[in-house]
């Protein structure tokens, strides 16, 4: 059962071929067996999980179940979940037990889904490799000497290793899509504002977006149906009519215009990623899609723009972690200012400190106009490039990551090289567009390659259709790391 998709598990539960308790116990057993070596989960609570599963079975017996009632999933440890340790991968929140549920957790619980645990992540979602977590790195189940991507690396690895059928993630500059690509699963970053950020510990508020991670496009649509919705507690949450994001899955792709940005296919992409991406585009042509060359001329500015804006917002958001109200407090200090300094110095890791310092610098007097305001202007140009591109195409296709999963330590000593891992994904966040990654083959060493699909605003249903039709014609999304599919 652990190798089944969310859709298949939903059908098994509906037919009473298994119970949620049986299903949850199977995943708990797998977590107990593999999590020590992979490091996917920070917190598990079998007793709490099985209690939720028992309640879900009671709902099904009473006839008031939803489509996903009883289906287990994991939550990235950036989401507050009442009664659960919620660490954000940081020593700073190493003892924080959330007193309330994030909107995403609340929606999943209302559907009757079962929480398997809280997944590991780069500290405060700052990283592209899951090496910055205070609780240790997450290992890629395809090759444990390699990273799973980040910051949602724990969620991605858990789904890939069959330690969860689905998981929640967050995407600030590619943190759902890049780890999905590196671990061979599917991940969706919705249009900004479609899923509430309430209860999601903030990194960069104008960029952060929650989304689902699973093993098929159809699963992503089922999960997005649950996660999306207006929330008055989040001022950026959009008021839109409810949608069935899987409504167009069966639509043929004949005549679909797929935009291929020339900036995606230049220097920087490894040969094995290029080969798999070209093969995926050829498959789309067989399905009736028509390739169209488009241009995103300001895409090369997306990384420097992001690393001005995101640290600026992070420096503000993380100022609340001061050792006063919650989180880590230094054991010894002289006065209040000394307590602030010592608590933050001890509680934050190196990458978080680096970004706070950069953010504080670009917001400081004398540099605000030169860096922050200029970056905001460039952000608008990047968004406008997508507006122009979508005048001639329906979706944009390209690689998710320029390389397959890299080895631990390979890029951690060079922050710029690490940041370039997100070169194809960051512009989507800056523009607030939806984007997703699906498996499209394997590169050197049998490592997964991800194909990125970018849609226009609120075009998630079309993106899922484009992904689903590809998955009907291929089986890359069905492949599992050795030893995980049993």
- Sole residue written with tokens 């890049």: 178
Return d(Cα 184, Cα 187) in angstroms, integer: 10
Return d(Cα 436, Cα 438) in angstroms, integer: 7
Q: How many CA atoms lie within 13 A of 140 on its CB side?
A: 27
286 labelled catalytic: no
| Residue 221 φ then ψ, to 5° | -65, -40
Cα angle 48, 59, 4 (rounded to 5 degrees) comes to 70
In a domain, 237, yes or no: yes
pLDDT for 1 equals: 82
pLDDT for 415 equals: 82
- For residue 329, give every residue at least 6 positions away whose Cβ sits within 8 Å of its Cβ, in sequence order, or none: 323, 339, 343
Return d(Cα 429, Cα 222) in angstroms, integer: 23
Return d(Cα 46, Cα 48) in angstroms, integer: 6
Look at residues 437, 414, 478, 428 and name the one whose alpha carbon lies nearest to residue 457: 428
Handedness of CA 103, 106, 112, 114 (dihedral sign): positive
Look at residues 382, 384, 346, 9 and name the one whose alpha carbon lies nearest to residue 162: 9
Give the helix/strand (H/E) hosting 169. Answer: strand 167-171
Q: Which of 2, 19, 20, 175 is catalytic?
A: 175
pLDDT for 364 equals: 93
SS3 3: coil
What's the Rg (C-alpha) of the chain? 21
Return d(Cα 342, Cα 324) in angstroms, integer: 12
Q: What is the pLDDT of residues 7-38, one digit of tens each?
A: 999 999 999 999 999 999 999 999 999 999 99
Determine the straight-line distance between the first and last CA of the chain, rounded to whole angstroms: 9
In a domain, 106, yes or no: yes
| Beta strands 72-76 and 114-119, pairing class | parallel
The CA-based diameter of the chain, rounded to the nearest angstrom, is 70
Look at residues 432, 427, 358 and name the one whose alpha carbon lies nearest to residue 197: 432
Q: What is the pLDDT of residues 137-184, one digit of tens each?
A: 999 999 999 999 999 999 999 999 999 999 999 999 999 999 999 999
In a domain, 37, yes or no: yes
User: How many residues are recorded in the chain?
Assistant: 486
**In the numeric block, which tokens belong to residue 226?**
């649950």
10 labelled catalytic: no
Burial of residue 465 (CB within 10 Å: 0-12, 13-18, 19+) is buried
**In the numeric block, which tokens belong to residue 2?**
């652990």
Each of the 486 residues of the chain gets a pLDDT tens digit; together they read 889 999 999 999 999 999 999 999 999 999 999 999 999 999 999 999 999 999 999 999 999 999 999 999 999 999 999 999 999 999 999 999 999 999 999 999 999 999 999 999 999 999 999 999 999 999 999 999 999 999 999 999 999 999 999 999 999 999 999 999 999 999 999 999 999 999 999 999 999 999 999 999 999 999 999 999 999 999 999 999 999 999 999 999 999 999 999 999 987 899 999 999 999 999 999 999 999 999 999 999 999 999 999 999 999 999 999 999 999 999 999 999 999 999 999 999 999 999 999 999 999 988 999 999 999 999 999 999 999 999 999 999 999 999 999 999 999 888 888 888 899 999 999 999 999 999 999 999 999 999 999 999 999 999 999 999 999 999 999 999 987 765
Threshold 0.85, pTM exceeds: yes
**Contact 37/248 with Cβ under 8 angstroms?**
no
**Contact 43/84 with Cβ under 8 angstroms?**
yes
Return d(Cα 356, Cα 359) in angstroms, integer: 5
Burial of residue 47 (CB within 10 Å: 0-12, 13-18, 19+) is exposed
Q: Which of 7, 76, 189, 411 is catalytic?
A: 76
* Count: domains in the chain: 1
Look at residues 187, 180, 189, 170 and name the one whose alpha carbon lies nearest to residue 449: 180
pLDDT for 99 equals: 97
pLDDT for 417 equals: 85
In a domain, 294, yes or no: no
In a domain, 393, yes or no: no
In a domain, 216, yes or no: yes
- For residue 193, give every residue at least 6 positions away whose Cβ sits within 8 Å of its Cβ, in sequence order, or none: 209, 236, 237, 238, 432
**Contact 57/47 with Cβ under 8 angstroms?**
no
pLDDT for 252 equals: 98
In a domain, 213, yes or no: yes
In a domain, 341, yes or no: no
Return d(Cα 200, Cα 79) in angstroms, integer: 5
Residue 17 CB neighbours (<10 A) = 11
Burial of residue 146 (CB within 10 Å: 0-12, 13-18, 19+) is buried
175 labelled catalytic: yes
Q: Burial code of 150-174, b = ≥16 C-beta within 10 A, e = fewer? A: bbbbbbbbbbbbbbbbbbbbbbbbb
CATH number at residue 53: 3.90.1300.10
Range of the domain at 88: 6-255+464-478
Q: Which of 90, 151, 315, 437 is catalytic?
A: 151
């Amino acid at each position: 059962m652990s190798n089944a998709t969310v859709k298949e598990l939903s059908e098994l539960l509906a037919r009473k071929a298994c119970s949620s308790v049986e299903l949850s116990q199977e995943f708990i057993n797998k977590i107990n067996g593999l999590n020590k070596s992979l490091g996917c989960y920070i917190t598990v609570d079998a007793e709490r999980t099985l209690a939720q599963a028992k309640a879900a079975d009671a709902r099904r017996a009473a006839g008031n179940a939803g489509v996903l009632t009883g289906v287990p999933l994991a939550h990235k440890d950036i989401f507050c979940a009442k009664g659960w340790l919620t660490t954000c991968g940081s020593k700073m929140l190493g003892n924080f037990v959330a007193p309330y549920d994030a909107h995403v957790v609340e929606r999943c619980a209302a559907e009757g889904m079962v929480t398997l645990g809280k997944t590991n992540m780069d500290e405060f979602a700052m990283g592209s490799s899951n090496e910055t977590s205070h609780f240790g790195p997450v290992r890629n189940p395809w090759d444990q000497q390699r990273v799973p991507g980040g910051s949602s690396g724990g969620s991605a690895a858990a789904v890939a290793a069959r330690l969860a059928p689905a998981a929640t993630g967050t995407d600030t500059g590619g943190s759902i899509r890049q780890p999905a690509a590196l671990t061979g699963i599917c991940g969706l970053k919705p249009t900004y504002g479609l899923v509430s950020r309430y209860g999601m510990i903030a990194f960069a508020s104008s960029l952060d977006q929650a989304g689902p991670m699973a093993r098929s496009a159809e699963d992503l649509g089922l999960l997005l149906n649950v996660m999306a919705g207006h929330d008055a507690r989040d001022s950026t949450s959009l008021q839109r009519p409810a949608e069935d994001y899987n409504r167009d899955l069966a639509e043929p792709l004949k005549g679909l215009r797929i935009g291929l940005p020339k900036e995606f296919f230049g220097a920087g992409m490894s040969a094995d990623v290029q080969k798999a991406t070209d093969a995926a585009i050829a498959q789309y042509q067989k399905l009736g899609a028509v390739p169209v060359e488009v241009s995103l001329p300001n895409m090369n500015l997306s990384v420097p723009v992001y690393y001005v804006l995101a640290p600026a917002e992070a420096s503000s958001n993380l100022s609340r972690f001061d050792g006063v109200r919650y989180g880590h407090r230094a054991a010894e200090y002289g006065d209040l200012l000394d307590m602030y300094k010592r608590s933050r110095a001890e509680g934050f890791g190196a990458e978080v400190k680096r970004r706070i310092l950069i953010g504080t610098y670009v917001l400081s007097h004398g540099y605000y106009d030169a860096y922050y305001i200029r970056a905001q202007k460039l952000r608008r140009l990047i968004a406008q490039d997508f507006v122009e591109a979508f005048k001639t195409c329906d979706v944009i296709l390209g690689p998710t990551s320029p390389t397959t999963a890299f080895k631990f330590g390979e890029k951690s000593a060079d922050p710029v090289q690490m940041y370039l891992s997100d070169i194809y994904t960051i512009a989507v966040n800056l523009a607030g567009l939806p984007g997703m990654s699906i498996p499209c083959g394997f590169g050197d060493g049998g490592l997964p390659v991800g194909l990125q699909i970018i849609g226009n605003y609120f075009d998630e249903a079309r993106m899922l259709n484009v992904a689903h039709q590809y998955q009907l014609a291929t089986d890359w999304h069905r492949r599992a790391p050795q030893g995980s599919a049993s």
